């Protein structure tokens, strides 16, 4: 969640105007720099399909034995994650998907024997390393294309009923975290006496309750969200059992445990503060309570960071603590802002004011929180976007631009909050050091008596024959200043800030469910590379058929023609170009540069051609083909050819 709640009360800190302007400019420049840094990098979260065997829209002569998918990141899958459907919409993979050769970025299913000709549909849905499901479909044909009755769900995963519910409760979870952490931080640091006030106690209880309810809902919806099931499948206990052993489900369970412990801590603190309505003399909760509260906040934030974008991609050991700090700082700023708005409103309705030093402490706390947000947001933006192009060509980048626009609006509104805060602190400072002016002493004098000299401290014009001693002149008029007017202005601007912060929180929640720009770019590049790469390597080797002027040829096709498992098909052509039938055909491959081989392909007669579907080639490079063709019961010939085997598609480092 990069650059979350960037501005807010950064500008509430009462500093001189030039310094405040510099801070604003620096904050905006930091946000922009986050989008400039990047360049080449690895794939990030939200895995994408980088290749398949068979490839999309290919036409095969014979049915393959397996269907294999390769992704840009590690994935997990369930029993129905990979389905191969016949033209009649009948499933033709009897067993669930497995990893190919133990590689966690692959998924493979074995197909049934003797598949008829026609077009087959491959539908897949897997869960990427960051906990978000991705899905897709493609087709391949055996023999020739045909009509198909296969039905594959289309549209975005978030367009389903479960997807919309999951997104809604994910937003509620972030909101509950902000309320709980922000209100607790405000009470612990800024105004401990507010913990005894009913509105603040209700805010703490609401944050805790919203977080508990949303976490339970997310835990129940997690299974259908991953597998594409309907809302009624939330009651499937077997599916719930599989959810809790996965990383996202385990994180939700840990969150519930932490919330149960947090309820005990909040109850104990409430007992201490209960019955205290006067916040002017706050009761300190103690360093131990504050330390325990901070630990709970960090633990709650970790349950997000350990199962979402920060948990996949490069620099995971650094990205996870950065995400934790980002979330906690977001809660301190936004939740604290909402708490301040509520305290200002409730005390204003009761004709009381919030102590200026409490507002100053919140300003300092918010300044530190926003500084953390800026630093962690810069890093996360680099990690997820990486280039200017990603801002305008991907959904993640465009959503981030919307968020930055709202942040700019928050900065503008926060400048007004800063002014009101400065006035409050300015009025509070002189009040604390006001000099007491002694009451003038009035002295009666006899009419006609000599005037008291001015040097003696008298004022001859006093009415009623009185002289005012100790007064050199009339006291200066007092400024007509009402602190409640400043707090009313502050209350209005803080309310607007809080409302815009809620919008930023909504956009940030949307970002957590969107494929990061880097991952989208890597997936697109992999798809283009796969489309441009030849799907098969063909070598045609001539040979003497044993009769004068009869020159035949053997055509060897290796698909996909790269390291790993390959399908090999061999066809013999006669001198006139027609297909020839031979009693035996053998093929061995040798990598002479590395001293590998010969590897016997073990071709089998397929009644018209020779083939094998599971030849493993361990290394890329130029391979020598040794082909032995037996043209009759007693005649055979051995010829040599070559083919270049490509390396595996380059996979970005995790």
At 568-621, the pLDDT tens digits run 888 888 877 778 888 888 999 998 888 888 889 889 888 778 888 888 888 888
The verdict on residue 282 lying in a domain is no
The verdict on residue 350 lying in a domain is yes
Same domain, 88 and 149: yes
Same domain, 402 and 501: yes
- Tokens representing residue 427 in the block: 């009025």
Confidence band of 445 (pLDDT split at 50, 70, 90): very low
Looking up residue 79, the CATH number of its domain turns out to be 2.60.40.1220
Do residues 139 and 57 touch, judged by C-beta distance below 8 A?
A: yes
Angle between helix 247-273 and helix 237-245 axes, rounded to 10 deg = 80
Tens of pLDDT along 166-202? 888 988 998 899 999 999 999 888 888 787 788 888 9
Contacts (Cβ under 8 Å, ≥6 apart) of 59: 140, 141, 142, 143, 144, 145
Question: Would strands 59-60 and 133-142 be described as parallel, antiparallel, or unpaired?
Answer: parallel
- Strands, E, within 230-299: which ranges? none
Same domain, 329 and 386: yes
For position 84, what pLDDT does the model report? 93
Tally of structural domains, the chain: 3
Whole-angstrom Cα distance, residue 554 to residue 431?
101
Angle between helix 483-512 and helix 161-185 axes, rounded to 10 deg = 140
Of the candidates 335, 394, 332, 412, the one whose C-alpha atom is nearest the C-alpha of residue 367 is 332
Do residues 375 and 369 touch, judged by C-beta distance below 8 A?
A: no
* β-pair partners for 126: 134
For position 553, what pLDDT does the model report? 87
Whole-angstrom Cα distance, residue 5 to residue 9?
10
Of the candidates 266, 263, 240, 265, the one whose C-alpha atom is nearest the C-alpha of residue 253 is 240
Q: In this model, does residue 209 exceed pLDDT 80?
A: yes
For position 250, what pLDDT does the model report? 92
Per-residue DSSP letter, 116: P
Torsion, Cα of 36, 41, 46, 48 (10° steps): 120
Same domain, 421 and 567: no
For position 157, what pLDDT does the model report? 54
The verdict on residue 467 lying in a domain is no
Region of residue 210 (left: phi > 0; alpha: psi -120 to 50; beta: else)? alpha
Region of residue 651 (left: phi > 0; alpha: psi -120 to 50; beta: else)? beta
Whole-angstrom Cα distance, residue 644 to residue 558?
10
Whole-angstrom Cα distance, residue 379 to residue 339?
29
Confidence band of 302 (pLDDT split at 50, 70, 90): very high
Whole-angstrom Cα distance, residue 111 to residue 113?
7
Same domain, 34 and 53: no
Same domain, 23 and 122: no
The verdict on residue 459 lying in a domain is no
For position 432, what pLDDT does the model report? 47
The verdict on residue 22 lying in a domain is yes
Percentages helix, strand, coil for the chain, rounded to the nearest 5?
50, 20, 30
Per the listing, tokens 């996979």 go with: 651
Question: Would strands 610-617 and 49-53 be described as parallel, antiparallel, or unpaired?
Answer: unpaired
Average pLDDT of span 218-227: 89
Is 270 buried (19+), middle (13-18) or exposed (0-12) by CB count in 10 A? middle
Confidence band of 380 (pLDDT split at 50, 70, 90): confident
* β-pair partners for 623: 643
Same domain, 12 and 67: no
Output 210 or 415, whichever has higher pLDDT. Answer: 210
**Cα-Cα-Cα-Cα dihedral sign, residues 609, 610, 616, 617:** negative
Is the preceding omega at residue 560 within 30 degrees of 0, hence cis? yes
Note the pTM of the prediction, 2 decimals.
0.61
Do residues 104 and 75 touch, judged by C-beta distance below 8 A?
A: yes
Q: In this model, does residue 467 exceed pLDDT 50?
A: no
Per-residue DSSP letter, 579: B
- Tokens representing residue 604 in the block: 């089998």
Do residues 61 and 143 touch, judged by C-beta distance below 8 A?
A: yes
Contacts (Cβ under 8 Å, ≥6 apart) of 547: none
User: CA geometry: angle at 401 spanning 396 and 402, to 5°?
Assistant: 100
Lowest mean pLDDT among 21-35, 367-381, 456-470, 626-640: 21-35
Cβ-count burial 76-106 (b if 16+ within 10 Å, e if not):
bbbeebbbbbbbeeeebbeeebebbeebebb
Contacts (Cβ under 8 Å, ≥6 apart) of 506: 171
Q: In this model, does residue 323 exceed pLDDT 70?
A: yes
Average pLDDT across the chain, whole number: 74
Confidence band of 162 (pLDDT split at 50, 70, 90): confident
Region of residue 50 (left: phi > 0; alpha: psi -120 to 50; beta: else)? alpha
Q: In this model, does residue 34 exceed pLDDT 50?
A: no
Of 530, 557, 592, the residue at which a domain comes to its end is: 530
Whole-angstrom Cα distance, residue 384 to residue 191?
38
Decide: helix, strand or coil at residue 537: strand
Looking up residue 566, the CATH number of its domain turns out to be 2.60.40.3340
The verdict on residue 457 lying in a domain is no
Same domain, 36 and 54: no
% of the chain at pLDDT higher than 70? 67
Phi, psi angles (nearest 5°) of residue 485: -65, -40
Residue 558, domain extent:
535-645
* β-pair partners for 588: 600, 626
Angle between helix 161-185 and helix 287-305 axes, rounded to 10 deg = 160
Q: In this model, does residue 654 exceed pLDDT 60?
A: no
Whole-angstrom Cα distance, residue 604 to residue 625?
17
Lowest mean pLDDT among 104-118, 245-259, 392-406, 547-561: 392-406
Same domain, 556 and 506: no
Helix/strand number for the chain, H first, E second: 13, 19
The verdict on residue 554 lying in a domain is yes
Same domain, 391 and 506: yes
For position 379, what pLDDT does the model report? 80
Q: In this model, does residue 149 exceed pLDDT 60?
A: yes
Q: In this model, does residue 459 exceed pLDDT 50?
A: no
Average pLDDT of span 392-418: 71
**Cα-Cα-Cα-Cα dihedral sign, residues 179, 182, 187, 190:** negative
Same domain, 498 and 608: no
Whole-angstrom Cα distance, residue 149 to residue 151?
6
Same domain, 501 and 618: no
Tens of pLDDT along 501-552? 677 777 776 666 666 655 555 555 555 555 555 567 888 888 887 665 577 8
- Tokens representing residue 369 in the block: 């929180």
Q: Residue 64 to residues 105, 274, 348, 415, 534: CA-CA distances in angstroms?
A: 21, 73, 76, 66, 18
Of 530, 555, 588, the residue at which a domain comes to its end is: 530
């Amino acid at each position: 969640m990069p650059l979350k709640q960037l501005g807010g009360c950064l500008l509430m800190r009462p500093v001189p105007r030039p310094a405040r302007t510099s801070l604003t400019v620096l904050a905006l420049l930091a946000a922009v720099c986050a989008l400039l840094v990047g360049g080449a990098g690895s794939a990030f979260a939200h895995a994408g399909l980088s290749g398949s065997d068979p490839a999309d829209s290919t036409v095969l002569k014979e049915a393959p034995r397996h269907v294999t998918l390769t992704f840009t990141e590690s994935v997990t899958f369930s029993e129905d994650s990979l389905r191969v459907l016949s033209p009649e919409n009948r499933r033709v993979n009897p067993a669930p998907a497995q990893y190919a050769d133990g590689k966690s970025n692959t998924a493979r299913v074995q197909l049934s024997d003797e598949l008829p000709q026609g077009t087959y549909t491959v539908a897949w849905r897997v869960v990427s390393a960051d906990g978000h499901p991705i899905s897709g479909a493609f087709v391949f044909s055996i023999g020739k294309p045909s009509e198909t009755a296969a039905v594959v769900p289309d549209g975005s995963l978030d367009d389903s009923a479960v997807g919309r519910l999951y997104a809604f409760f994910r937003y509620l979870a972030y909101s509950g975290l902000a309320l709980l952490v922000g209100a607790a931080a405000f009470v612990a640091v800024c105004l401990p006496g507010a913990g005894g006030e009913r509105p603040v106690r209700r805010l703490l209880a609401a944050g805790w309750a919203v977080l508990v309810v949303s976490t339970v809902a997310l835990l129940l919806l997690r299974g259908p969200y991953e597998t594409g099931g309907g809302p009624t499948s939330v009651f499937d206990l077997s599916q719930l059992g599989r959810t809790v052993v996965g990383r996202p489900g385990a994180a939700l369970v840990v969150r519930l445990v932490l919330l149960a412990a947090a309820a005990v801590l909040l109850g104990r603190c409430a007992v201490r503060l209960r019955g205290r309505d006067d916040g002017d003399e706050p009761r300190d909760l103690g360093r131990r309570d504050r330390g325990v509260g901070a630990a709970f906040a960090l633990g709650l934030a970790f349950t997000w960071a350990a199962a979402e974008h920060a948990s996949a991609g490069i620099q995971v050991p650094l990205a996870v603590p950065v995400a934790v700090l980002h979330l906690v700082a977001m809660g301190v700023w936004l939740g604290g802002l909402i708490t301040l708005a509520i305290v200002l409103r409730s005390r204003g309705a009761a004709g009381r004011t919030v102590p200026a030093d409490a507002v100053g402490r919140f300003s300092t706390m918010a300044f530190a929180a926003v500084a953390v947000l800026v630093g962690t947001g810069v890093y996360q933006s680099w990690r997820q976007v990486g280039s200017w192009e990603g801002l305008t060509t991907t959904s993640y980048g465009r959503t981030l631009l919307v968020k930055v626009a709202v942040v700019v609006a928050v900065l503008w509104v926060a400048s007004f909050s800063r002014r009101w805060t400065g006035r409050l602190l300015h009025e509070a400072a002189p009040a604390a050091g006001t000099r007491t002016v002694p009451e003038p002493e009035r002295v009666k004098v006899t009419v006609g008596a000599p005037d008291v000299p001015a040097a003696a401290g008298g004022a001859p014009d006093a009415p009623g024959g009185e002289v005012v001693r100790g007064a050199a002149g009339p006291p200066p008029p007092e400024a007509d200043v009402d602190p409640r007017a400043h707090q009313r202005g502050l209350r209005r601007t803080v309310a607007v800030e809080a409302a815009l912060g809620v919008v930023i929180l909504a956009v940030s929640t949307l970002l957590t469910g969107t494929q990061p720009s880097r991952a989208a770019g890597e997936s697109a590049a992999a798809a283009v590379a796969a489309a441009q790469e030849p799907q098969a390597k063909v070598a045609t080797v001539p040979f003497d058929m044993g009769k004068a002027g009869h020159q035949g040829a053997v055509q060897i096709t290796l698909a996909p023609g790269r390291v790993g498992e390959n399908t090999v098909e061999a066809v013999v052509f006669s001198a006139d170009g027609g297909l020839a039938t031979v009693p035996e055909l053998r093929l061995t491959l040798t990598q002479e540069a590395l001293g590998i081989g010969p590897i016997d392909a073990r071709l089998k007669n397929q009644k018209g051609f020779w083939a094998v579907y599971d030849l493993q080639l361990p290394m890329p490079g130029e391979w020598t083909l040794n082909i032995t063709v037996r043209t009759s019961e007693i005649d055979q010939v051995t010829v040599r050819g070559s083919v270049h085997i490509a390396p595996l598609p380059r996979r970005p480092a995790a």
